[in-house]
Amino acid sequence: MKVIKAIKDIDIEFDTVVTIGNFDGVHKGHQVLIEKTAAYAKARGIKSAVFTFLNHPINYFVPEKVKNIFDEKEKERLIESFGIDYLIDIPFDKAMTQISAEQFIVKILKDKIHAKKIVVGHDFTFARNKEGNADVLRDMGHEYGIEVEIVQPIKINGIRVSSTFIRELISEGRVDEIPQYLGTHYVIEGEIIHGKANGRKMGYPTANISLKDQIINPKNGIYASRVIIDGKKYFGATNVGMNPTVNGKYLSIETNILDFNEDIYGKRVRIEFLEKIRDEKKFESLDELRKQLDLDTGFVRQKYMSNEKIND
């Protein structure tokens, strides 16, 4: 998959089928759009493209209002897994707020991307002041010889699948519900950094992962997690919070990786959140905290490490 990071760099020589959207999280609703795009392109013998934005458009107007579900690398990895040929992942900037609907269709979709078919969701909007929507795109597309398919919302368990809903699940700590809507576990990936070694002093060494301001974090608490290091999978108990028992002052995400004792400082690690075990709380003593950590890790061992299906 070729990744294009700026409008000026778009110079696709082939006819394409393209889907457009923010695709934050690449959830199951997004996946329908991407799968249709890839399938139509393959059937017609042309190329497939996903047009999206590096930053959430809302954040251009109100900085940091919306937190991303995944980082840029994870978003690229997921989109590529559908067999897409081109990912156009550009900044949403001032130029995007000034372009008219017709200019967007003609100068970008028609002239630069050579779109022959466009697949969008029913609530798709574009161009200055959101003057363009799915119906406008379909009407203008017909005028310029571009077929447009509008896809209706995807519902699971009677709930419309959306990035907003998935963010709600994350912020409430309901991570065990996420895979049915997202198609994968909620993941945080980052570099292992040095912490205060409080866990190690109690016999529970933890791997601290660097935080990213633009990524949403789960509700503070203790989570059963799967940890991927150098392609190998382990299980752990991950703490998201302030470490109140030791008077912590900053939010941290740290994982006690079970049956693991290697130096991984500086390595990139993936933390998959499987389920919330309990809320974070302040204990009266380190001994009381240590007893609770015994229970937390025991829960992970019993439910996950002994279950071959989940371990696959």
pLDDT, position 224: 97
* Residue 154 identity (one-letter amino acid): I
pLDDT, position 309: 47
Residue 242 banded pLDDT, cuts 50, 70, 90: confident
Stated as kind and residue range, the H or E segment containing 120 is: strand 115-121
| pLDDT surpassing 70 at residue 180 | yes
Q: Walk me through the domains of the chain, giving residue ranges and CATH numbers.
A: 2-156 (3.40.50.620), 185-311 (2.40.30.30)
Query: Regarding predicted confidence, which is higher, 100 or 205?
Result: 100
pLDDT, position 286: 80
Summarised one tens digit per residue, pLDDT across range 273-311 is 999 999 988 887 788 888 888 999 999 999 998 765 444
Helices (H), 28-125: 28-44, 57-61, 72-80, 94-98, 101-103
Summarised one tens digit per residue, pLDDT across range 55-95 is 999 999 998 899 999 989 899 999 999 999 999 999 999 99
- Angle at Cα 163 formed by Cα 159 and Cα 166, nearest 5°? 65
Give the global pTM.
0.89
Burial of 121 from C-beta contacts in 10 A (0-12 / 13-18 / 19+): buried
Summarised one tens digit per residue, pLDDT across range 222-234 is 999 999 999 999 9
Stated as kind and residue range, the H or E segment containing 67 is: none
| pLDDT surpassing 70 at residue 244 | no
| pLDDT surpassing 80 at residue 147 | yes
Determine contact, residues 237/292, Cβ cutoff 8 Å. no
Summarised one tens digit per residue, pLDDT across range 256-274 is 999 988 888 888 999 999 9
- Among candidate residues 82, 113, 99, the one with its CA nearest the CA of residue 14: 113
Q: Tell me the two tokens of residue 208.
A: 């601290």
The pLDDT mean for the chain works out to: 90
Alpha-carbon distances of 77 from 26, 32, 55, 239, rounded to whole Å: 10, 17, 17, 26
Alpha-carbon gap, residue 70 to 141, rounded angstroms: 32
